[in-house]
Structure 1
């Protein structure tokens, strides 16, 4: 029996693909959304440094400037997901006790969202002014 190379049968549905060198594009390639660089994200974290607590959870807040950390939003509309932090743009300076209450506390979910939103509203104008000063210093 004579051995031959692989040949497609005449009625094979894939015959039309074998004669082309590549598939022609009907639409232009789409560009991916640009992810922020580490330097761009760290500007927001840097703005939180040395600030007081803006979360001010009643009965929890330490009112201590030494323990202030950037507290990321826990809301999915800000980019939060399973194992994914929200964007650095959605951070608020908060003391360690308020941060723990927001992330692991036993309070109602909506109450935590409300406290974070109120803190973010207080922090936004201060951050805008501070980041404007940071930009002009560079």
Structure 2
């Protein structure tokens, strides 16, 4: 006599319980959890619009197309500038980039260190541009001057790696 073996389907169990991040952490004295607010995003649409028609400041050798019609504000991908997950870096941490350089910065296959160096070099140039706008060495509208001053003020208010002061 042959008996048919019953096969029971068993739902696979996870090896670990997924952690749900709630934004609260234990306090230093291990007492009641404290809430940690997300850092405030700093945005200035006019500052970003100033990129239109400008020269690419990244100028990645062999990548840059030099086409001023494709230049936009390319935000930093560094966490020290506020980049985290889907959150963009604050607007004072951007450079003017043509389409090709922007694509290289965000999706290119170059090592992260090379991209970070290229961005930081271009950002120094951006700071000089904003200083020139504020000082009147570069022709600009009052709105441009106010936006450039905003960026410089934000950079002076929060030293890199030390968080926000306001």
Answering whether residue 66 of structure 2 is matched by residue 63 of structure 1, we say: yes
- TM-score of the superposed pair, with normalisation by structure 2: 0.56
1:10 alignment counterpart: none
Counterpart CA distance in 1 for 2:50 and 2:134 is 7
List, as ranges, runs of 4+ consecutive aligned residues in structure 1 with deviation greater than 2 Å: 32-36, 127-138
Counterpart CA distance in 2 for 1:103 and 1:34 is 23
1:116 alignment counterpart: 119
Counterpart CA distance in 2 for 1:34 and 1:82 is 15
Q: Tell me which protein shows more helix as a share of its residues.
A: 1
Could you tell me which runs of 5 or more consecutive residues in structure 1 were left unpaired when the two chains were aligned. 1-31
Counterpart CA distance in 1 for 2:105 and 2:40 is 30
Match of 2:142 among 130, 135, 138: 135
TM-superposed CA distance for 1:95, in Å, is 0.3
Taking CA–CA contacts closer than 8 Å with sequence separation of 6 or more, which of the two structures ends up with the larger relative contact order?
A: 1
TM-superposed CA distance for 1:58, in Å, is 0.7
Could you tell me which runs of 5 or more consecutive residues in structure 2 were left unpaired when the two chains were aligned. 1-37, 147-166
TM-superposed CA distance for 1:123, in Å, is 1.7
The structure whose Rg is larger is 1
Count of matched residue pairs = 104
The two structures, once aligned, show a CA RMSD in angstroms of: 2.3
